[in-house]
Structure 1
Amino acid sequence: MSRVLPPPDRFDLSVEVLVIGAGAAGMVAALRLADAGTEAMVLERDPRPAGSTAMSSGFIPAPGTRTQKAAGVTDSAEAFAADIARKSHGTGDARLGALAACSIGPVLDWLAEVHGLEWELLTDFLYPGHSAHRMHAVPERTGAALLARLGAAVEAAGVPVVTDAHVTALYADGQRVVAAEVTRPDGRVERIGCAALVLASSGYGGNPELVARHVPAMAAAPYYGHPGNRGDALLWGQALGGAVQDLSGCQGHGSLAHPHGVLITWALMAEGGIQVNADGRRFADEHRGYSEQALDVLDQPDGIAWDIFDDRLLALARGFPDFRAAEAAGAVLSGASVVELARVTGLPMAALAETLALCAACAQGQATDPLGRNFTTRPALTPPFHAVRVTGALFHTQGGLLIGDDARVFTADGTPLPNLFAAGGAAAGVSGPDPDGYLSGNGLLTAVAFGSLAGQGASRLGAARRS
């Protein structure tokens, strides 16, 4: 429903700034608008806010925060930007990477100091590609809890969040957005005028046609994202003349419990676990990152792999609510020995034993991993063993509308559109054009950092129009 129509004869109501999407990007934008005294309204298509944020881990990477400093961690925006660039092999947008890295720390501090969000720094393990412990989470350590806390802050700030409000068209005078068409579940249509519009309705992972066009390698992958991510924001922005970037970029994940559909934390791999295929053999270096591992898993027979770990890692994983849910659903199989593990998983015992023996030798410095992984930084796996059957999946897209430093959408010649802003999955991200460019946390990084910039930019535009 990505239509752009001429201005209507009348509006049913008007506000200074409309925000489409009540995920992390939209909620943070709304809080910035509230702080600036700008009249705003958030439109959410679902009966309650959820989307990609609620389905995520809820972890946000940020350097230089008060939380990080209190934990004694030394970090900087420059180091973070370098990690982002290194992970994308230099193919990501350096300007956006630096913008996100510089913005995110102050945003998390502002959310804590002004709006009461509580942050914890995750120091149990270092996510692949990060040079410092900089992953922040609310105490519950879930995306749903993060969104609930943001929603409570938005409510306290007095910004209305209108649910069951499906935006089915935009109205524009040339390239200037003047209103949004909202269709209610009963078919009733409302036209809401605005001076500025923030697109925060995520990417296009739920649109098979767009995925097949832009990310063909993921066309057949299971989609573990919100079905409402249909690419409306992308198509609206393009129709208005907005430029796009890195549409082939995405976040995959190589560890989705199958058939349970529950995310298995990559901490298992980062801290010493391995993945094997149906032949009981490893097939890739698990330390590269979980996004690129999705494609490697999908390339295995039937698109299936097994996460293999031990009691030490089981205790670590139980600190994550998603893993506990997977364990409660029966996804975790256990064996007191390699023989028993092979029996409960159906994996070939001889090959599995050989794989585990080689990994142990690599951990002890007695062998070199042919796949290039350094095993010497963590203890070798020891019995009893545990396993989870997993597949690779598409989580969300990373390309989108090109934005400036104030999150305003640019045209192809670098001219900003008059009053259109984008953040989160609607905007071009920092991961570059390939799945292996995704650094852990890049999704919520750009949702929160660019959501803040969009709110500030839209509030300045509203103030200028009032003066």
Structure 2
Amino acid sequence: MLTRDRSHHSYSRADETVDVLVVGGGGAGLAAAIEAAESGARVVLLEKNDAPGGSTSWSIGSVSASQTPHQRAQGIADTPEAHWEDMPGFAGELAPRDNDALRRVLCDAMPDTFQWLLDSGIRFMGPMPEPPHRVPRMHNVLPNSRSFIYHLTRRAQRADVAIRVRARVVELVFENGDVKGVLYEADGATKRIDARGGVILAAGDFTNSPELKARFMGAQEAKVAAVNPTATGDGQRMAERCGARIVNGDLALGPEIRFIAPAKENFVRRLPPWRSLAAVMQWSMKHLPDAILRPFLMKFLTTALAPALALFEDGALLVNARGERFGDETDKPAYRLPDQPDGVGYIIIDGRIAERYSAWPHFISTAPGVAYAYLADYRRNRPDVYREADSIEGLAAATGMNAAALAESVKSASGPRTLSRAPYIALGPVRAVFVHAEGGLMVDESHRVLDAGGAPIGGLRAAGSTGQGGLLLKGHGHHLAWAFASGRRAGRFAAQAARSAPAGVTPEKAATV
């Protein structure tokens, strides 16, 4: 752990003092800001990017919860206790590393938090089954994940949250053992803003921080990019300088292979997140025949998801942009992709595999419980990642690969990897990415950031991925659930601290909440 005593650092006087300061404008940060403002606090939210969004806007958009109106409508009886009991089934052998207390916080908070999302104007389809959940709990947002940011930003504005974009927080103001505020850069100047109720770090994970990935995961992982390019671990790094510690830094979803994003977003991702449109979609999911609904879903599935690793088990080859194989396709191929030219590869299959992946149960990609995408769906919806030819030479020409190198790759493959039946198909480019990292700051059940000795750092809370606290969030819908639930709670506690803090006294010294 990297620590540094900043208690005697000399800072300029604050340019501004507010009740609660939130760092990060993703789902967790917006939830924190809204809850604090609706509790009566004066709130400023600082976002380094051009607009709120964070990793929430990059997500598929699933939220897992119990006791939801959607469950009741389907006659599903469920409880937070059952949800708490089922979650370790996703963690498997990692379950002993989970934070049971924070898992309880999450599951207990989700029924009310899900209703809060509905009250904010967000609409869902579902719930969908996902074992080992004993009952369906996964709810998928409509029409896409931008709906969260659209509606929560508007709710924050109605609550008079001051959202400041292109405002990069560079340092926590740490004096006499407490966090007083932050230094941030905006409009070419560095400013200081203090917060009576404390600072809430909601700045995401470190999937795009080579430094933190190298430290916690390894040198090869440090080469792998992130789905969200601005998830650079800012909150974790700043908090460490105040004595905080990162837990479960070695755990992440990835590296995994994903198709490159289309140059132009399809119409599903461009759909406006209007409540009326979401309501129409919600009705359609229940009543429209599959023949009408499925083409719409395929526009989403062929854009957002990863190719199934079963392709490689069934004989597909993975080659680089020159047409060369670069290792065993079933032995962590995503780890080797960053070392290839331009960091990309292509999945090569023949007619035998193509036929197999044209119908259930062999799919190219899936969103669990929603739908499955087969080869024909990619041919129709992603012509930019689909190339087909009657010969290996023709496929090399279609993809720009070296014909001799690709021919040698196919020829040298043996056994189940023998590709000999036309047509020959290349799916790609594909690249290696991290989807999210589990390494968050250790926090208590009030989301206060803890130091190495387990004591709260005065004036500092963390939510979402930044404040994951060792909680394991495998399974669809748990990361977003934690973002919203922890953000709301951190905002509420910070607002309480602001009310209880006498002038000039750090709120954490004045009252424990």
Query: Which range, TM-score by smaller chain?
Result: 0.7 to 0.9
Q: Cα–Cα, structure 1 residues 222 and 188, in superposed 2: closer, same or farther, change >3 Å?
A: closer
Alignment partners' CA distance in 2, 1:34 and 1:336: 59
Query: Which residue of the partner structure matches residue 35 of structure 1?
Result: 38
CA distance in 2, matches of 1:45, 1:352: 51
Corresponding letter in the other structure for 2:243: G
SS at match of 1:67: helix
Query: What are the within-5 Å matches in structure 2 for residues 114-129 of structure 1?
Result: 115-123=120-128, 126-127=129-130, 129=132
Question: Cα–Cα, structure 1 residues 10 and 93, in superposed 2: closer, same or farther, change >3 Å?
Answer: same
Report the secondary structure of 2:435's partner residue: strand
Match of 2:403 in 1: none
| Number of the residue aligned with 1:276 | 312
Which 5+ residue runs of structure 1 have no aligned equivalent? 283-292, 357-382
- Give me the TM-score of the superposition, normalised by structure 2: 0.69
How far apart, CA to CA, are the structure 1 residues paired with 2:78 and 2:387?
39
| Aligned twin of 1:224 | 227
Instruction: Name which of 404, 414, 420 aligns with 2:444.
Output: 404
Question: What amino acid is the match of 1:419?
Answer: G
1:19 Cα deviation after fit: 0.2
Answer whether contact 2:210 2:223 (CA < 8 A) is retained. no
- Rg bigger for which structure? 2
The 5-angstrom pairing of residues 59-458 of structure 1 reads: 59-88=62-91, 89=93, 90=95, 91-113=97-119, 115-123=120-128, 126-127=129-130, 129-142=132-145, 144-185=146-187, 187-195=188-196, 196-216=198-218, 218-227=221-230, 229-252=231-254, 254-258=256-260, 274-276=310-312, 279-280=315-316, 296-298=332-334, 306=347, 309-310=357-358, 328-331=381-384, 333=386, 390-429=430-469, 432=472, 438-458=474-494
Q: Which moved more, 1:204-213 or 1:64-73?
A: 64-73
Amino acid at match of 1:310: S
Instruction: Give the 3-state SS of the residue equivalent to 1:219 in structure 2.
Output: helix
The one-letter code sitting in structure 2 at the alignment partner of 1:148 is Y
Q: Which moved more, 1:59-68 or 1:394-403?
A: 59-68
Q: Distance in 2 between matches of 1:129 and 1:225?
A: 28
Change (3 A) 1:257 1:268: closer
The residue type equivalent to 2:17 in the other structure is: S
Q: Partner of 1:136: helix, strand, or coil?
A: strand
- Give a deviation string over 1:209-240, Cα, whole Å, max 9, x none: 1111111152232322232x222211222222
Aligned: 1:18 with 2:24: no
Counterpart-to-counterpart distance in 1, 2:185 and 2:381: 39
* SS in structure 2 of the partner of residue 247 of structure 1: coil
Bigger shift: residues 11-20 or 62-71: 62-71
Q: Which moved more, 1:311-320 or 1:211-220?
A: 311-320
Following TM superposition, by how much is the alpha carbon of 1:149 offset from its aligned partner in structure 2, in angstroms? Answer: 1.7
Q: Which letter does structure 1 place at the counterpart of 2:121?
A: G
- Judging changes above 3 Å, is the alpha-carbon distance between structure 1 residues 274 and 165 closer, same or farther for their aligned structure 2 residues? same
Distance 1:172 1:192, change over 3 A: same
Query: Which residue identity lines up with residue 192 of structure 1 in the other structure?
Result: I
What is the alpha-carbon distance in structure 2 between the residues aligned to residue 259 and residue 159 of structure 1?
Answer: 33
Alpha-carbon distance between aligned partners in 1 of 2:169 and 2:44, rounded to the nearest angstrom: 13
Sequence identity of aligned pairs in percent?
23
Write the letter of the residue equivalent to 2:89. Answer: R
**SS of equivalent to 1:138:** strand
Whole-Å separation in 1 of the counterparts to 2:63 and 2:226: 22
CA distance in 2 between counterparts of 1:132 and 1:391 reads 35
Q: Distance in 2 between matches of 1:180 and 1:219?
A: 28
Secondary structure of the equivalent of 1:419?
strand
Distance 1:194 1:389, change over 3 A: same
Q: Distance in 2 between matches of 1:400 and 1:148?
A: 26
Secondary structure of 2:142's counterpart equals: coil
Check conservation: 1:120, 1:138, Cα contact below 8 A. yes
Q: CA deviation at 1:129?
A: 4.8
Deviation per residue, 1:89-109 (Å, 9 max, x gap): 212222222222222222111
How far residue 41 of structure 1 moved from its aligned partner, in angstroms, is 0.9
Number of aligned residues: 417
Q: What TM-score does the superposition give when structure 1 sets the normalisation length?
A: 0.75
Counterpart-to-counterpart distance in 2, 1:118 and 1:295? 40
Structure 1 pair 105–305 and aligned structure 2 pair: CA distance change class (3 A)? farther
Q: Distance in 2 between matches of 1:355 and 1:79?
A: 44
1:58–1:137: 8 Å Cα contact kept in structure 2? yes
Q: Identify which range, 157-166 or 347-356, moves more after superposition.
A: 347-356
User: Whole-Å Cα distance in 2 between the matches of residues 251 and 353 of structure 1?
Assistant: 31
Q: Post-superposition shift, 1:448? A: 1.4
Residue type matched to 1:248 in 2? D
Q: Deviations over 1:405-429 (max 9, x none)?
A: 1111122222222221001121135
Deviation at 1:349, TM superposition (A): 11
Q: Distance in 2 between matches of 1:121 and 1:386?
A: 35
Cα deviation for residue 86 of structure 1 reads: 2.4
Partner residue, 2:273: none
SS of aligned partner of 1:49: coil
